[in-house]
Amino acid sequence: MSLLRLRDVSQQPILEPLTASFQGGRVVGLIGPNGAGKSTLLKTIVGLLPATGGDVQVDGISLKKLSPRQRARFISYLPQSIAEDIPYTVAEFVQMGRYSRAPIWASRTTHHRLAVKDALALMGLTALAEVPLQHISGGERQRAGIARCLAQESPVLLLDEPISNLDVFYQLDILTELRKLAAAGYLIVIAIHHLEFALRFCDEVVVLKDGRLYTHGSVESVFTRDMLAEVFRVNAQLFVDPTHHHPRLSLAPLGANDSTNTGK
Amino acid sequence: MSRRRVTWTFVALVVGVVIASILEICIGPMGIPIRQIVPDTIAYVTGQHSTDALVVGAIRLPRLLVALLVGAALATTGAVLQAVFKNPMSDPGVIGVSSGSAMGAILTIQLGISATRLWARPVGAFICGIGVVVLIYRLATVRQRTNLYALLLAGVAVSSLCSAIITLILSLSPLQTMEEMLFWLMGGLDGSSWSEVLLLAVFVFASLVVFLIIGWALDIMLTGEEHAEGVGVPVQRIKQLSLGICALLVAVCVSTTGVISFVGLIVPHLLRGFVGSTHRYLIPASALGGAILLSLSDLVARMAFSPVELNVGIVTACLGAPFFLYLLFQRQRAWQRS
């Protein structure tokens, strides 16, 4: 059974009605050129933008009538960036993920403390727990954001471009962690610009173009030369890295002569 | 922030409130010895109205309690608004409620209603204060979302309009009425009564309870609205609730004491250095700090040029304006560094 189901979800005029379903234990990449509607789709799924139509279901339960607090128990969401001037420690920030589960007077009980401790440990942040967020690196801050989502104990994690502001070390680090979380049963949906990383780290891919669902499927079926040419306007060569055995992409801007061969 | 530092800050604040209270009651044109405070209060309550008992029970005690309550209200309002706006330079003035309430009170004085009906000035201040906040809020809310920058800009514009109307009324008023208006506009605690104490106590304590309940949500909103909504905070509802209560509280304060500025700016800012930005500490600490600041400011206002009594609003403005400039300077330096 699908863990996350979108039925004709729309956000007019930016996003046309979109239907798709996803199972747990997978990393789903949401790709598309700038302005395709990736962030809008994520915000609509999580309820930050009220959908102009359609329905989102998690585990068969419609999120339409739920309060923000109830909804947060099903889906956690991490925006594109975490501000540098947040005046809290890593542990305090991660503990905020317990908001939907614990009333203020119970947020420090053993169960909730354990959930925070586990989330910190899972993201390798135990040693930084009492360090102010202002004093850690961008990659560690992003880890703290994911730990906050984990403390929320929701089965679905939506991450809006979690690696876009990071150096390559942290990009690989975060994506590797996300794969581990998917292996533990979470459904991870990430908006991602880096096509090669999407190809390498995602199980399936949703492609958006001009606010419409272009295609959705396994990475192998979606990443075709035609799709890349038509959606991203690039001439692509797919190959396997002979050293690391990772799927790779060689990309070049689509020339004027190539545009005639992009029919799907 | 370490638990020990927070604990010691609260101990210091409670001691500060006690000391400020004793000073406010004992010092004045007619000195009251410390040991006489309790007997004089009991004498006043039991109806033995000696001169000392009257000074303590009918004048200094209600004045002290109004100072403590208004100080607490303004400072907690400042702390909450700074969280809602994510701007450490916000205070009750920014949402226009101070100028709106002032305009309402001035109107009742101008129309002559306040002279004949005691309730007219507070009610006028309250209605106009709330009216201005609702107007600003509606202007800044599109599709059920409130744009905080639009709210700030609308606040500035509507405040200016209210100030212009106040100036117009002042310039058209006869001299005697104008004096009464000016005196009230500058904010003062003289003539505080027990009925005002009761009114303020109800509003201040009820608001403090609500602020403490939504404190965690305010903490989370400081990390950004999208983050807050992501973890389940009903951001729009918390904004409405916070702004509504702040407006109510400030309108009640302004209708009682006139406009007292800068308390909401100074106190939370100073205390963040001691108790951190967690609102379950910052809100009660601000309440205590605001109480201390306003009662001591009132003492200065009463005694600095004795027997002439200044308005307490002049003292807080003299403290607050340089502090505001200092903050501005600090921020500019921070921007330059980044």
DSSP A132: B
Percent of chain B whose predicted confidence (pLDDT) is above 70: 97
Minimum distance, in Å, between the CA of residue B198 and any CA atom of chain A:
29
Q: What is the pLDDT of residue A263?
A: 40
Q: Does A87 touch chain B (CB under 8 A)?
A: yes
| Chain B residues touching residue A76 (CB < 8 angstroms) | 230-231
Whole domain around residue B82: which residue ranges? 3-337
pLDDT per residue over B150-174, tens digit each? 877 888 888 899 989 999 999 988 8
Kindly report the nearest CA distance between residue A132 and chain B, in angstroms.
10
**Does A73 lie at the interface with B, CB-CB under 8 angstroms?**
yes
Strands of the sheet with A204-209, listed across from one edge = A75-78, A156-160, A187-191, A27-31, A204-209, A212-218
Domains annotated on chain A, with CATH: 1-74+154-219 (3.40.50.300), 87-151 (no CATH), 224-264 (no CATH)
Alpha helices in B111-174 (DSSP H): 113-116, 120-140, 148-172
Angle (nearest 5°) at CA B265 between B264 and B269: 110
Q: Which of A52, A96, A108, A133 to mutate to test the interface with B (most CBs of B within 10 A)?
A: A96
Q: What are phi and psi of B10, to 5 degrees?
A: -65, -40
Contact status of A66 with chain B (Cβ, < 8 Å): no
B137-165 burial: b if 16+ Cβ within 10 Å, else e:
bebbbeeeebeeeebbebbeebbebbeeb
B80-104 confidence digits (pLDDT tens): 988 887 777 777 777 778 888 889 9
Q: How far is residue B125's CA from residue B188's CA, in Å, rounded to a whole number?
A: 15
When divided into structural domains, chain B yields a total of: 1
Q: Enumerate the residues of chain A whose CB falls inside 8 A of the CB of residue B224.
A: 79, 82-83
**Residue B205 pLDDT greater than 70, yes or no:** yes
Contact A79 B230 (CB under 8 A): yes
Among A100, A107, A95, which Cα is nearest to A67's?
A100
Q: Which residues of A touch B219 (CB under 8 A)?
A: 88, 92, 96
What would the mean pLDDT of B64-72 be, rounded to a whole number? 96
Reported confidence tier of residue B147, pLDDT bands at 50, 70, 90: confident
Spell out the per-residue pLDDT of chain A, length 264, in tens: 789 999 999 998 889 999 999 999 999 999 999 989 999 999 999 988 888 999 999 988 998 888 899 999 999 999 988 888 888 999 999 999 999 988 766 666 778 888 899 999 988 899 999 999 999 988 899 999 999 999 999 999 999 998 887 888 888 988 998 999 999 999 999 999 999 899 989 999 999 999 999 999 999 899 988 999 999 988 888 888 888 888 888 888 877 555 544 443
| ipTM, interface predicted TM-score of the complex | 0.86
Contact B220 A87 (CB under 8 A): no
- With DSSP H G I counted as helix, E B as strand and the rest as coil, what are the percentages for chain A, rounded to 5? 35, 25, 35
| Residues from chain B contacting residue A70 (CB–CB below 8 Å) | 232
Q: How far apart are CA B324 and CA A97, in angstroms?
A: 35
A36 touching B (Cβ < 8 Å)? no
Residue B7 has pLDDT above 90, yes or no: yes
Q: How far is CA B310 from CA B162, B190, B294, B301, B304, in A?
A: 25, 10, 13, 5, 8
| A154 touches B: beta carbon within 8 Å | no
The residue to which tokens 């308390």 are assigned: B263
What is the distance in angstroms between the Cα of B219 and the nearest Cα belonging to chain A? 9
CATH of the domain at B276: 1.10.3470.10
Q: Residue range B120-145: average pLDDT?
A: 81
Residue at B188: amino acid letter: G
Nearest to B227 among A67, A71, A79 (CB): A79
Of B219, B229, B280, the CB nearest to A68: B229
What pLDDT, on a 0 to 100 scale, did the predictor assign at position A82? 87
Which one of B227, B233, B238, B335 would you mutate to disrupt binding with A, by most A Cβ within 10 Å of its Cβ?
B227
For residue B187, how many other CB atoms are within 10 A of its CB?
Answer: 28
Average the pLDDT over each of B17-31, B298-312, B317-331 and give the range with the smallest value.
B317-331
Rounded distance between C-alpha atoms, residue B103 and residue A230, angstroms:
62
- Average pLDDT for residues B257-271, to the nearest whole number? 88
Residue contact A77–B226, C-beta within 8 A: yes
A129-143, A227-241, B20-34, B323-337: lowest mean pLDDT where?
A: B323-337
